[in-house]
Structure 1
Amino acid sequence: MPSYICTTCGVGYAETDAPRDVCLICADERQYVNARGQGWTTLEELQSDHVNELLELEPGLWGLGSKPQVAIGQRALVVERPDGGVMWDCTPVITDEALRAIATRGGIRAMAISHPHFFSTMVDWSRALGGVPVYLHEDHRDYVMRPDPAIRYWSGETQEIASGITLVRTGGHFTGSSVLHWAEGAEGRGVLLTGDSIMVVPDTSWVSFMYSYPNLIPMNARMVERIVKAVKPFAYDRIYAGWWDRVLDHAAKAAVQRSAERYIAAIR
């Protein structure tokens, strides 16, 4: 039986004879069911006409996407390490070429995902990488549409999954929304990989915060303050948000603070 993948959000479901009528992730008010109707695909179908795109973003960090774009354009980030790297977030397509490229860069020892809109084909990726653990905050448990022994639920506010690589629960977009802090990134000044918990905006000198991005539902002031407080203990100078072009390349910590102040002033 195939694992059906929602064509709108890109999330893979447990194997069934036929897909559901509606994707549960898209039916949530933070996402949307396609106005043209629910659509489904499978990994095998995607592999027939898609490839993985790999781009080096800075020394020790590269991105991995699906081309042409699938669903909302999710792309993964891989932090290279000599003892096995960490994949952050996920992309639906998996190709043999990408797996070989990963192997030449030291392999993957763990995966971690910011929130349900990036769960994608996480189980297929884990299996293709030899059954590596997939770290999700326990508050995401009800959003996992394809349970698997590889999924490791972590609790609390932080979780170190490798030396210098720490998951931080920010909340906001989802209760369990998280970011990844990479201490050695940006030439040792620190990097945040944020999914869309903290979104770099198009001019790339500010960030913003939303409860729902496609439905334009803002976040309240208390949650914005919580997000800023969650990342405040960490040193970081650069942010990679959830899409290729959303990178704030310097003075990121100050930008988060002034962006939160601007946001809160606007909604009040």
Structure 2
Amino acid sequence: MTCFICVTCGTQFTDSAREPERCPVCEDERQYVGQGGQRWTTLEALRATHRNHIEAEADGLLGIGTEPAFAINERALLVHSPGGNLLWDCIALVDDDTVARVREAGGIRAIAISHPHYYSGMVEWSRAFGDVPILLHAADREWVMRDSSVIDYWDGETRMLWDGMTLVRCGGHFAGGTVAHVPHLHEGRGALLTGDVIQVAMDNRHVGFMRSFPNYIPLSAHAVRGIATAVASYPFEAIHGAWWGRSIAFDARAALARSVDRYVAALEGAYDGA
């Protein structure tokens, strides 16, 4: 029996004797099945051809991403915290070298994930660090392709963690779309870890909001305002998105506000590019 991994989205499925017939995550309108059709790999095959690159994103924040690029190519973030480290979002590949390096950095107390596109190898990561809990919003439970007793399906609008950290349900991209507020990052000025629920733009001065990024399906103005409202009460200096180099390190609250205004104006036909 093998836990096959979708090559397009990186989701690992429950163990089976043969490749799954389909990937519901990719067949959903927010993702896609590649032009070559559905393809599968395994963790063992991935370990033979890929490695994980680990480097600091900010003081107390390590990025972990796979080289060469695989699937959606997000990178996870390891948050150093006095009460235990949080792994934010996840990737498909975990190997002995990665486990050793993360243990050197203090290990993992829990895993929290922004939305289903980054569930990837979450159960393998949990097992590698002693069956640590995986925190997922219950609204997205249907997208879990490999269930486990270590998954904690939380409900409601917020989930308090330790050391003042909070998971905040924003919705938008997915019904349970979540960001993490980490108050002690950036010298106590705070940061949001957002995956692509709030996606940092290429200019690192704005953010974007989409139902589907690859298929260019926008969110409604109502949904975007709802995201902004969900995080309005949390102090933050920075926003760290889903990919390497996608971070706003200063005055991120203002960047979020002007991005919401620009997005809504564009939807309403009031944006002239100024």
Structure 1: gaps of 5 or more residues: none
| Cα shift at 1:116 | 0.4
| Deviation readout 1:51-102 (Å, 9 max, x if unpaired) | 1110111111101111111101021100012442000000111111111111
Q: How many residue pairs are counted as aligned between the two chains?
A: 268
Written as runs of structure 1 = structure 2, the 5 A alignment for 1:198-237 is 198-237=198-237
Q: Write the distance in 1 (CA, Å) between the matches of 2:42 and 2:162.
A: 32
Q: Distance in 2 between matches of 1:137 and 1:193?
A: 15
Match in the other structure for 1:191: 191
Structure 1 residue 21, shift from structure 2 partner: 2.1
Residue deviations 1:116-135, cap 9 Å, x none?
A: 00000000000011100000
* C-alpha RMSD over aligned residues: 0.8
Percent identity among equivalent residues? 46
In structure 2, what is the equivalent of residue 121 of structure 1? Answer: 121
Query: TM-score normalised to the size of structure 2?
Result: 0.96
* Pair 1:48-2:42 in alignment: no
CA–CA distance in 1 between the matches of 2:164 and 2:53?
A: 27
In structure 1, what residue type is equivalent to 2:58?
E
Say if 1:82 and 1:106, in contact at 8 Å, map to a contact too: no
Q: Distance in 2 between matches of 1:103 and 1:166?
A: 23
Counterpart contact for 1:81–1:106, Cα < 8 Å? no
TM-score (norm 1): 0.98
**Matched residue, 2:174:** 174
**Large movers: runs of 4+ above 6 Å:** none
2:79 aligned residue? 79
Q: Which moved more, 1:174-183 or 1:18-27?
A: 18-27
CA contact (8 A) 1:55 1:64 kept: yes
CA contact (8 A) 1:22 1:33 kept: no
- Is 2:58 the partner of 1:58? yes
Structure 1 CA distance for aligned equivalents of residues 39 and 81 of structure 2 = 38
1:32 matched to which residue of 2? Answer: 32
Distance 1:260 1:83 in 2: 34
SS in 1 for 2:161: strand
